[in-house]
């Protein structure tokens, strides 16, 4: 008799359960998927001990017929896969393994259409009468009680409950017209009603940070995208706040994660992750959802192509944050409540700044640059450039000016470091160093993209090792695109630098190439270029302590309006804050 034997159905189901059901949230996910596929509009969930002791899912979906009760507990039996193409999958559950797998490691009951059936760790009961006449009720108890190897890996009740909440949140985002409720022990944890997707996301992530998010959409070839990108200042230390949905299925995917990281690279510090909700629609032919038993991962047929598309679409929309000015929280400013007898006189406001702007003579005097009239192009120190003023000078009233510019009109400079501008209903306080640093960086980036270069009078030679040669070969095209011209010697033992980008000097360029050659594989050229650009921008930007004229301030405000990602400096700090009129009135107890 041979040594090889077939495994029993019970062992087979337990092996499948180990792949599909890692913890209570995994079982919950499979059952809720069935409810959604059954067109349920109301899904109610009860958990005990984070789902370890009990999970109950009740829905008002299509339900099961009498004959389906037995069939649904057979492996590889499904109603959701039509035809012979496993890749053309549009429903959630399609493998036909979930229910028998869960039933093999728990006390399992399913009731629908007036009947029910139970499984006691793979021991199937006869069909029995049930009071459930509409929809379906699934009960899972004592998960993994007879599989101690799996049971010992479960976490605390709170940790398992938190994982279950995340599962329901993901379903709730993509199914905003379905009502979800979740109760744990005697507590009501979740109650999501039929609502717009904006309200659903605000309920899940918080209304305050959702207000700072921006909606986007875009498409390229076989892929179309939409979703919400959250403000870089709301980034987290965990990727758990990134939610990706491909063809209405929540998934975790390294390709999409890398694309989001690349797009936000200059806006979010290393070690933090942007919050993003991404919906992707793609022809099922280009995606394999059959990668993992839990269907939580996918595989794109051309991951590099997809990553580039997603990065480009997201990055193109990040400049929308430049039109979101986050008001300062007035509640954090402590103050003393003054009684009536403590207010001795009405407040006095110095009108000199306003008078200075309105007075025509002062205004014209200030808006001159040495011997040049203000109609000419004005080049200021430290790389500030102002576009030619083409129309004749026509003084406008202070009130009319306020509404024309997004960053308002200049009022004054304080501490020789901060700029105050005014809009119709708010004032903006701007860090002059931060914004000019960003303007400089973006200018350099554009020059690098164009590949502007300067040829060296005397070419520079660098000796290289075999490892450095490989690093150069890998990055040669990227260096060429940035404005370098470098030749590898005949014996492949040295490099000759013929031309360098116009934005850096010869020594900086030589040091930069040497650093590139010494970098490991993890550090890519774009990251090195960005770091160098940030250093150059910092070095050449306006510094704290420099006095600016009104015309220089106005020029800076206008350049801010034409610069992408101006809301943050190169070191991910805010460039400006806003205080609204309403907040000021609140501070002075006028509201």
CATH number (domain holding residue 553)? 3.30.1540.20
Are residues 43 and 124 located together in one domain of the fold? Answer: yes
Which helix H or strand E contains 216, and what residues bound it? strand 214-220
Are residues 126 and 156 located together in one domain of the fold? Answer: yes
- Max avg pLDDT among 393-402, 416-425, 445-454: 416-425
Q: What are the pLDDT digits (tens) for 254-274?
A: 889 999 998 998 788 878 899
Alpha helices (H) along 403-549: 432-450, 466-481, 506-518, 525-540
* Residue 553, domain member (yes or no): yes
Reading the block at residue 100, the tokens are: 């028998």
Are residues 36 and 141 located together in one domain of the fold? Answer: yes
Query: Any residues with CB less than 8 A from the CB of 307 and at least 6 apart, and which?
Result: 255, 256, 258, 259, 262
**pLDDT at residue 541, as a whole number:** 60
Domain that holds residue 221: 198-323
* Residue 515, domain member (yes or no): yes
Are residues 220 and 272 located together in one domain of the fold? Answer: yes
Q: Which of 132-136, 402-406, 434-438 has the lowest mean pLDDT?
A: 402-406
Are residues 498 and 521 located together in one domain of the fold? Answer: yes
Residues 136 and 38: beta-carbon distance below 8 Å? yes
Residues 64 and 111: beta-carbon distance below 8 Å? no
Distances (CA, A) of 145 to 47, 88, 120, 163, 174: 16, 37, 11, 20, 33
Alpha-carbon gap, residue 505 to 496, rounded angstroms: 16
Percent of the chain whose predicted confidence (pLDDT) is above 90: 32
What's the average model confidence in pLDDT over 473-502? 87
Domain harbouring 231, CATH code: 3.30.230.10
Are residues 497 and 531 located together in one domain of the fold? Answer: yes
Residues 150 and 18: beta-carbon distance below 8 Å? yes
Are residues 387 and 520 located together in one domain of the fold? Answer: no
Exposed e or buried b per residue across 8-17, where buried means at least 16 C-beta atoms within 10 angstroms of its C-beta = eeeebbbebb
pTM of the model: 0.63
| Domains contained in the chain, number | 4
Alpha-carbon gap, residue 27 to 52, rounded angstroms: 10
Alpha-carbon gap, residue 252 to 242, rounded angstroms: 9
Alpha-carbon gap, residue 495 to 498, rounded angstroms: 9
Are residues 274 and 406 located together in one domain of the fold? Answer: no
Domain harbouring 478, CATH code: 3.30.1370.100
* Residue 443, domain member (yes or no): no
Among residues 282, 305, 323, the one where a domain terminates is: 323
Answer yes or no: is pLDDT of 126 > 60: yes
**pLDDT at residue 444, as a whole number:** 78
* Residue 2, domain member (yes or no): no
Are residues 42 and 123 located together in one domain of the fold? Answer: yes
Exposed e or buried b per residue across 103-123, where buried means at least 16 C-beta atoms within 10 angstroms of its C-beta = bbbbbbbbbbbebbbbbebbe
Are residues 467 and 568 located together in one domain of the fold? Answer: no
Among residues 323, 353, 376, the one where a domain terminates is: 323
Q: Phi-psi category of 209—alpha, beta or left, where left has phi over 0 and alpha has psi -120 to 50?
A: alpha
Q: What are the pLDDT digits (tens) for 580-591?
A: 898 888 888 887
Are residues 505 and 577 located together in one domain of the fold? Answer: no
Are residues 387 and 424 located together in one domain of the fold? Answer: yes
Which helix H or strand E contains 427, and what residues bound it? strand 426-431
Give residue 6's Cα distance to chain centre: 48
């Amino acid at each position: 008799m041979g040594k090889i034997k077939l495994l029993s159905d019970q062992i087979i189901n337990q092996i499948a359960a180990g792949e599909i059901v890692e913890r209570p949230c995994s079982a919950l996910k499979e059952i809720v998927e069935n409810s959604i596929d059954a067109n349920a509009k109301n899904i109610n969930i009860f958990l005990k001990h984070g789902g370890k002791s009990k999970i109950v899912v009740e829905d008002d979906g299509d339900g099961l017929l009498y004959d389906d009760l037995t069939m649904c507990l057979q492996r590889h039996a499904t109603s959701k896969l039509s035809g012979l193409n496993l890749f053309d999958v549009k429903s959630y559950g399609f493998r036909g393994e979930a229910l028998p797998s869960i039933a093999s490691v728990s006390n399992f009951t399913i009731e629908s259409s007036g009947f029910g059936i139970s499984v006691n760790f793979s021991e199937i009961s006869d069909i029995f009468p049930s009071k459930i006449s509409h929809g379906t009720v699934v009960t899972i108890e004592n998960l993994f009680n007879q599989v101690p190897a799996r049971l010992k890996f479960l976490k605390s009740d709170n940790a398992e409950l938190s994982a279950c909440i995340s599962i329901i949140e993901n379903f709730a985002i993509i199914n905003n017209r379905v009502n979800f409720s979740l109760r744990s022990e005697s507590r009501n944890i979740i109650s999501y009603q039929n609502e717009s997707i904006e309200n659903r996301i605000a309920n899940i992530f918080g209304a305050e940070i959702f207000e700072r998010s921006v909606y986007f959409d875009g498409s390229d070839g076989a892929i179309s995208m939409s979703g919400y990108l959250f403000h870089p200042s709301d980034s987290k230390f965990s990727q758990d706040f990134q939610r990706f949905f491909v063809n209405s299925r929540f998934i975790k995917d390294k390709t999409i994660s890398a694309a989001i990281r690349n797009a936000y690279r200059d806006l979010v510090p290393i070690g933090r992750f942007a919050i993003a909700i991404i919906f992707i629609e793609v022809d099922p032919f280009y995606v394999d959802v059959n990668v993992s038993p839990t269907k939580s991962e996918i595989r794109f047929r051309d991951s590099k192509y997809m990553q580039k598309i997603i990065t480009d679409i997201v990055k193109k929309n990040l400049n929308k944050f430049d039109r979101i000015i986050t008001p300062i929280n007035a509640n954090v400013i402590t103050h003393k409540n003054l009684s009536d007898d403590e207010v001795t006189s009405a407040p006095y406001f110095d009108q000199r700044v306003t008078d200075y702007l309105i007075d025509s003579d002062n205004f014209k005097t200030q808006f001159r640059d040495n011997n040049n009239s203000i109609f000419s192009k004005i080049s200021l120190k430290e790389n500030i450039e102002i576009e030619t003023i083409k129309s004749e000078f026509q003084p406008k009233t202070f009130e009319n000016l306020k509404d024309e510019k997004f960053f308002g009109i200049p009022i004054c400079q304080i501490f020789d470091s901060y700029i105050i501008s005014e809009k119709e209903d708010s004032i903006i306080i701007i860090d002059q160093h931060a914004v000019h640093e960003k303007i400089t960086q973006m200018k350099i980036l554009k020059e690098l993209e164009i590949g502007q270069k300067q040829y060296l009078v005397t070419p520079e030679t660098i000796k290289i090792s075999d490892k450095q040669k490989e690093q150069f070969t890998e990055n040669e095209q990227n260096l060429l695109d940035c404005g370098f011209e470098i030749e590898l010697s005949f014996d492949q033992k040295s490099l000759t630098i013929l031309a360098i980008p116009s934005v850096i000097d010869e020594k900086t360029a030589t040091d930069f190439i040497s650093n590139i050659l010494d970098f490991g594989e993890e550090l890519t050229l774009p990251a090195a270029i960005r770091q160098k650009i940030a250093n150059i921008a910092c070095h050449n930007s306006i510094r704290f302590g420099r006095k600016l004229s009104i015309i220089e301030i106005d020029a800076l405000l206008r350049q801010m309006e034409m610069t992408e990602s101006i809301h943050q400096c190169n070191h991910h700090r805010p460039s400006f804050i806003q205080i609204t009129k309403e907040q000021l009135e609140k501070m002075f107890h006028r509201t």
